[in-house]
């Protein structure tokens, strides 16, 4: 029973860290990456489709992306989706190829994005602490029901705390790496 609680807590903590990594890929640095446009949905004949399913996305150099829709009529829809996205980038179209130039970030924008990265990191830490609280509460409930001893409950609390400390350290590492990426010119 205690092992199940630990495994569940561990899995949930790992999912929280993975979700943070995924969220941070959407925060643009000065470099071009296809992950920038992963979350964009394109109106494809009446239904919203991920951009990657209606076009090929290629990184042509450090500051530009090239998007080539599979079908010629989709060029306008893809362009509109990029303009309406939260990226703040303007696409230029040449025939069936859409090019997005990614401007260098200003110092103020870098600081703003750095704050956003820290905020995401803090939110993830809160989620991890909530997972710890839930796991500890399960152990206390088992102790009340006399299904485990006080020693087992204390050992469980220690192990959960160690997992929490490691997960928070991992979050700090992910945030630090993203911040370094943001601050490098």
Task: Please state, in angstroms and rounded to a whole number, the distance separating the CA atoms of residues 57 and 95.
Answer: 16
Helix (H) or strand (E) holding 99: strand 97-101
pLDDT digits over 43-81, tens only?
888 888 888 888 888 888 877 889 888 888 888 888 888
The pTM assigned to this predicted structure is 0.71
For residues 182 and 117, is the Cβ–Cβ distance under 8 A? Answer: yes
For residues 119 and 128, is the Cβ–Cβ distance under 8 A? Answer: no
For residues 180 and 172, is the Cβ–Cβ distance under 8 A? Answer: no
Helix axes of 2-25 and 107-144: crossing angle, nearest 10 degrees? 170
Query: In sequence order, what DSSP letters do the residues of 42-68 get, joined into one string?
Result: EEETTEEEEGGGTEEEEEEETTEEEEE
Low-confidence ranges of the chain (pLDDT < 50): none
């Amino acid at each position: 029973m205690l092992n199940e609680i630990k495994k569940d807590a561990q899995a949930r903590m790992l999912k929280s860290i993975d979700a943070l990594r995924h969220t941070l890929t959407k925060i643009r640095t000065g470099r071009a990456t296809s992950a920038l446009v992963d979350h964009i949905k394109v109106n494809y004949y009446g239904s919203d489709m991920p951009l990657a399913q209606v076009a090929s996305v290629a990184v042509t150099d450090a500051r530009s992306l090239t998007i080539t829709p599979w079908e010629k009529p989709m060029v306008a829809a893809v362009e509109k989706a990029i303009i309406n996205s939260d990226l703040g980038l303007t696409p230029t179209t040449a025939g069936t190829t859409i090019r997005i130039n990614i401007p260098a970030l200003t110092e103020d924008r870098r600081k703003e994005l750095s704050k956003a990265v820290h905020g995401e990191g803090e939110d993830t830490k809160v989620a991890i602490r909530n997972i710890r609280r839930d796991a500890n509460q399960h152990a206390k409930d088992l102790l009340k029901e006399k299904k485990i001893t006080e020693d087992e409950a204390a050992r469980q609390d220690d192990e959960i705390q160690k997992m929490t400390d490691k997960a928070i350290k991992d979050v700090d590492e992910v945030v630090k790496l993203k911040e370094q990426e943001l601050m490098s010119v």
